[in-house]
Amino acid sequence: MKIVLIGFMGSGKTTVAKLLAKKLRLKAIDMDDLALKKSGRKSINEIFEKDGEEKFRQIEYQVAQDLADCNDAVISTGGGVVVNTQLMSYLTKNSLVFYLKADFDKLKIRVRMKKIIPPLFKNEALARNLYKTRQPLYESYANMNILTDRRTIEMVATDITAHIGETNGRE
Ligand code: S3P
């Protein structure tokens, strides 16, 4: 089974993926972690600052390519994967995709609580714009939208496992 979690920065993809992987006895794989390993840099922020966003997107693309045939894993993605169609075809190959959906203002609060603010969330107006343009893309790739506002990580993971159970039952 290959499960892919998509959504904007601050939607909880990495935390939910870890819990979900534990519940389902799968591996948790984080695309940003893999991109960081390939980059040789110390942080995603450093990749953006020293190499530029384009370089980050190239690495992210290679990571998605590497994950095309991955199995028995829950993959947490970077918030920007949905803008590249070819990347998404590798990433979502033989997978179930869940969109962790939240209001922008909720995401803003969650991101501000992080130790490191992601590079594309440093400017709030730009982040809000990105959110607007990406929202329909997340929805178009998702097998299911999972609402995360006012819901705990546990509740979100339970929603996903329930949906996986239903999907398997239908097959
Ligand atoms: C990005 C989201 C980040 C990271 C990079 C770019 C984006 O991941 O991949 O900073 O374009 O939305 P998270 O969504 O895990 O914060």
pLDDT band at 168 (very low <50, low <70, confident <90, very high): confident
Specify the range with the lowest mean pLDDT, choosing from 26-35, 104-113, 161-170. Answer: 161-170
Q: Is the CB of 12 under 6 A from ligand 1?
A: no
| pTM recorded for the entire structure | 0.97
Helices 124-141 and 104-112: angle between axes, nearest 10 degrees: 120
Which pLDDT value is given to residue 54?
Answer: 98
What residues does 122 pair with on adjacent strands? none
Specify the range with the lowest mean pLDDT, choosing from 8-12, 82-86, 115-119, 124-128. Answer: 115-119
Which pLDDT value is given to residue 18?
Answer: 98
pLDDT band at 23 (very low <50, low <70, confident <90, very high): very high
- Over residues 144-154, the mean pLDDT reads 96
Give the position, in ligand 1's atom list, of the atom nearest the Cα of 134.
12
Query: Which tens digits make up the pLDDT trace of 34-60?
Result: 999 999 999 999 999 999 999 999 999
Which pLDDT value is given to residue 165?
Answer: 85
Q: Is the CB of 7 under 6 A from ligand 1?
A: no
Q: How far apart are CA 138 and CA 155, in angstroms?
A: 20
Query: Which tens digits make up the pLDDT trace of 62-121?
Result: 999 999 999 999 999 999 999 999 999 999 999 999 999 999 999 999 999 988 999 999
Which pLDDT value is given to residue 171?
Answer: 61
Q: Which two tokens stand for residue 111?
A: 């991101």
Q: How far apart are CA 53 and CA 144, in angstroms?
A: 29
The helix or strand, by DSSP H or E, that contains position 96, with its residue range, turns out to be strand 96-101
Q: How far apart are CA 74 and CA 71, in angstroms?
A: 9
Which pLDDT value is given to residue 83?
Answer: 98
Q: Is the CB of 144 under 6 A from ligand 1?
A: no
Query: Which tens digits make up the pLDDT trace of 133-142?
Result: 999 999 999 9
d(CA 117, ligand 1 centre) in Å: 10
